[in-house]
Amino acid sequence: MTMPGGRGRIRVLNVAEKPSVAKAVAEILSRRGGGFRSREGRSRYNRVFEFEYAIGPQLCHMLVTSVTGHLMELEFDDRFRKWHSCDPADLYHAAVRKHVPQDKLDIKRTLEEEARSCQWLVLWLDCDREGENIAFEVMEVCTSINHRLNVWRAHFSALIDREIHEAVQNLGRPNKLFADAVDVRQEIDLRIGASFTRFQTMLLRDAFVLDFAGDDRNVVLSYGPCQFPTLGFIVERYWEIQSHEPEEFWTINCSHTSDEGTTTFSWMRGHLFDYTSAVIVYEMCVEESTATVMNVRNQEKLKYPPYPLSTVELQKRASRYFRMSSEHTMKVAEELYQAGYISYPRTETDSFSVNTDLHAIVGEQVGHPAWGSYAQRLLDPEASLWRNPSNGGHNDKAHPPIHPTKFSAGEPGWSQDHNRLYELVVRHFLACVSKPAVGAETTVEIDIAGEQFSASGRVIIAKNYLDVYRFESWGGTILPTYTIGQQFIPTTLTLDSGVTRPPQLLSEADLLSCMDKAGIGTDATMHDHIKKLLDRCYATKDSNTRFSPTNLGEALVMGYDEMGYELWKPFLRSMMECDMKAVSIGSKRKSEVLEGCLQQMKACFLDARLNRVKLFEAMELFFERSNRSGADTHNIGETVRPCDSCHESDMVLKRRPSGDFMVGCLRFPLCRNVVWLPGSISEAAVTSEVCPTCAPGPVFLIQFKFRRLEIPPNYDVDHLGCIGGCDVALRELAEICGTGSRNNTGMTARAQRSTEPPSSTRRGNSRQDSCMYCRRTGHSSNDCPSQVSHSHGAPSIRIQKSRNGSGQVLCSCGAPCALRTANTETNRGRKFYTCQSQECGFFVWEDSLENGGTHGCGASHGSSSRASSTARRGGRGRGQGGARTGGVTFVSATGEPVSGSCFVCGDPSHFANVCPNRGS
């Protein structure tokens, strides 16, 4: 950097990522000036350290404080934060905001107060993408209060004197591209994770008995764009094992014992799966059992030391050598880093820079009682043990490989894991600057009856790096001496059988390798994704650190797999990670990547929701269905239309606990707009077709399936309908069947809106332009001349002996009647009796029996002059007669008069559904 002139002292605010790092930086920089002064900030955990220091020629009054990780959070606006506040699909375009949460406000106040009087801001955040994003969060807070701040970035990889002083004397500028890449990841993960998590949880949690959870009502079935592909690796390996079918094979084994020892020869064919073929070959060998040495090869072999240590390799080796979880490994490594004993533990780099003083790092370890003598040999030119480390081919341009930064023979506060991990880092570093191990390998090939066998032995000539890297071995056996052309009779020659074995479950090291290879997560986040699988009960880990899916984890993967989507495969996330890397180097724009990824994942989400039955079917294989009251099974469905009441959310198709369907606003209970649907619906699904008439739109049509026995015979079981008000058939069925379950009575809707179509809609429907009785225009159905004689003055038939001895009401045909409840607006809740026979038209109000009323007419509490919509369709309700005789007016199941005649032949004594001329 180019430093400004040194005139006058300036105040410099230094901000680190953690309180411990702030204190370490302050201690190192203030050591030459006599130490620092410490005082509390607004947050008692984030103190402020003050001291004098010179950056180049510039005298500075340094103030060092810290944040605790991210200062800001990304979240949805308040109206989208509650799970039932919106359709989960809306989360792909819902407004989001980045703000300082309540528990970080004290840190924000400290930064604002200190920044107000400073001229410079130096950012000491971790030198990776995540740290760069936090740096810009700090910048936003500080520059909002003091826009004249000169902002600098310190780059360091270890909390040691050399690194810190070099960083502050060579300040740079923050990298906006790195911060943008993290912004992209945060927004993508928030939108995808929230939408799928809400969808899965609301769909499945209350529908099944989740026996792994104490209180399964609070279970969250989370979905993460990295978490789910990680689960996919575990499930896929588990399925491979489950589907494996052992297959028997046969192999020929040969051994030879001499004065120098015993040699075991392996059949170069390996094995055969055909028993007959194996027996034939074996018998040939037995008949001509003399073995002839065909070839003896002696060659030098090298076993190379490992590449410098990256984060993923640290996690894999700690799991393999010490059975430490990746999450615990990173926790211990972070503590060692903050104490200054190792370099920054989150790095993808596995090659050292040519400017790194490797000899100095080795020199610090000379005094250790365990590996100090080996470090001394490395520095001795006569030992010829030194070798510059290999290049692993990865460099994140931010941090060097993990290496020791300070000598320790063990600290009082260290646990066994601290000691083991520090030992691994030191021994790994010493190994990677050492020469490879050297061995002499001998291979002997023999021939028995035309079949080839071989044996190999190895002798280690120089162990080199293996002397210090005790975690690896390079064993071998010493072969007796053989010469080409030598012949001997095998000591044993056997035909042995075996069976193929399935692969093992994935170990934690295997899983990390799969994630790293597929680009799932980063070196800093992989352990978090694995931990979430265990926390969410999607997978378990045994004592050998091998993973198995739980029933829940397998069911979720199976459900999405049955849909035909590979959401559990790594490909989608791998492409996203590549796009985020492209943002970090400037080859793609932030907005471009966001738009492309979210558009792709929203399409997957909508398809998955349409095929959600696959998730149900998969869950049913592992869990019992729940009969819990208030279960949200199918509760939140597809969007039907924008809410025309609150104008802030959508109306969605829902299924009530009783099994009935409704269309309600997602803002309930803030908005109580609802459309009750007929109680006879067995299935309902929103389609992509839009009603051309209803507004405000779009109003998506719903494909209904009705229960045949609960609707009049002249209505179709399958019906593509609209809830916007234009669908006459749907309104009629709601009046005939009611809007509740057969066992529910008096179901009402608060703020139920009228479903009558607007006048323009009625005019546009040709069925409303002509009389429903005579099918002619020029008069309305209420004024039809053909109906006058039937709709008025119908003779009343007085009930006589209508109750039998048991108190049952008997129909005129002698059959017992069913007691039902009316659901029309004028008679809702009123009881009536109808004959259970489909061919009988008997009807009577319950209260009219007590008052000596009539039957057959169905007088209403309200005005009886209004023609029923059922009458206009010629339909009949459940238990309603299909013909009328003796001038008796037909009635619907709701008790309203049904007047009309057959529109096929015009005969008023029957309707079209029983017309003898129908179809002729």
Would you call 168 helix, strand, or coil by DSSP?
A: helix
From CA 212, how far away is CA 553, in angstroms rounded? 12
Name the nearest CA neighbour of 256 among 443, 452, 455. 455
> What's the angle, vertex CA 197, arms to CA 191 and CA 201, rounded to 5?
155
757 touches 726 (CB < 8 A): yes
Reported as type and span, the H/E element at residue 301 is strand 291-303
The tally of CA atoms less than 13 A away on the side-chain side of residue 242 is 9
From the number of C-beta atoms within 10 Å of its C-beta (0-12, 13-18, 19+), residue 353 rates as exposed
Report residue 541 CA to chain centroid gap: 20
Catalytic position from the list 223, 282, 307, 344: 344
Q: Which residues pair with 453 in a beta bridge?
A: 267, 446
From CA 403, how far away is CA 344, in angstroms rounded? 8
From CA 198, how far away is CA 57, in angstroms rounded? 57
Name 816's Cβ contacts closer than 8 Å, sequence gap at least 6.
804, 808, 809, 810, 836
198 touches 609 (CB < 8 A): no
β-pair type (150-153, 639-642)? unpaired
The single residue listed with the structure tokens 């007796």 is 480
| Ramachandran class of 358: left when φ > 0, alpha when ψ lies in -120 to 50, beta otherwise | alpha
Would you call 742 helix, strand, or coil by DSSP?
A: coil
What b-and-e string marks burial along 716-746, b requiring 16 or more CB atoms within 10 Å of the CB?
eeebebbbbbbbbbbbbbbbbbbbbebeeee
Name 354's Cβ contacts closer than 8 Å, sequence gap at least 6.
none
Q: Count of residues for the chain?
A: 920
730 touches 722 (CB < 8 A): yes
Name 618's Cβ contacts closer than 8 Å, sequence gap at least 6.
555, 556, 558, 559, 562
698 touches 641 (CB < 8 A): yes
What does the DSSP 8-state code read for residue 727? -
C-beta pairs of 747-754 under 8 Å, 24+ apart in sequence: 747/676, 747/823, 748/828, 749/672, 749/674, 749/676, 750/672, 750/674, 751/645, 751/672, 751/673, 751/674, 752/674, 752/675, 752/676, 753/644, 753/645, 753/673, 753/674, 753/675, 754/725
DSSP state letters, 66-106: E--S-S-EEEE-HHHHSTTSS-GGGGGTS-EEEE--GGGHH
From CA 305, how far away is CA 303, in angstroms rounded? 7
Name the nearest CA neighbour of 432 among 480, 469, 462, 395. 469
The tally of CA atoms less than 13 A away on the side-chain side of residue 758 is 6
Other Cβ atoms less than 10 A from the Cβ of 109: the count is: 15
Token pair, residue 73, equals 């959070």
Token pair, residue 819, equals 């007691």
Q: Which residues pair with 14 in a beta bridge?
A: 64, 122
From CA 656, how far away is CA 59, in angstroms rounded? 72
- Residue 760 backbone phi and psi in degrees, to 5: -65, -35
Residue 560 designated active-site = no
> Mind telling me the catalytic residues?
344
